[in-house]
């Protein structure tokens, strides 16, 4: 069963690779991207699409950085020594919810 799953994963990866490869081969024509002040960039279509995708990923990651930073700070504050002793004391006084096995 595990071998079949690995084979299916490999086939899916191969299909994605060959689809992207075919896209790149079929889009070799020159594309012109116009910017401001009559400047432009000429490149194969596949490079333009890849650049746009990469730029979108970078903008998305940079947009998430402030949230990640706030979450990281919140975790650091909750892991401070004062917070861990308080939560450890509360956990020790809380009743156990473990179900006995073998019954």
pLDDT in tens, 3-51: 888 889 899 999 988 888 888 788 778 888 888 888 888 888 888 888 8
Q: How far apart are CA 45 and CA 53, in angstroms?
A: 12
Lowest mean pLDDT among 46-50, 67-71, 83-87: 83-87
The domains of the chain are located at 2-80
Q: Looking at the predicted structure, is the pLDDT value of residue 88 above 80?
A: no
CA-based torsion, 16, 19, 25, 31: positive or negative: negative
Task: Note the pLDDT of residue 42.
Answer: 86
**Across all residues in the chain, what is the average pLDDT?**
80
Task: Note the pLDDT of residue 90.
Answer: 55
């Amino acid at each position: 069963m595990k071998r079949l799953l690995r084979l299916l994963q490999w086939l899916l990866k191969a299909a994605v690779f060959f689809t992207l490869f075919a896209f790149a081969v079929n889009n070799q024509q020159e594309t012109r991207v116009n910017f401001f002040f009559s400047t432009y960039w000429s490149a194969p279509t596949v490079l333009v699409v890849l650049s746009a995708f990469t730029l979108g990923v970078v903008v998305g990651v940079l947009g998430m950085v402030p949230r990640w930073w706030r979450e990281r700070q919140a975790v650091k504050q909750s892991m401070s020594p004062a917070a861990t002793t308080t939560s450890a004391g509360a956990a020790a006084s809380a009743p156990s919810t473990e179900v006995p096995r073998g019954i």
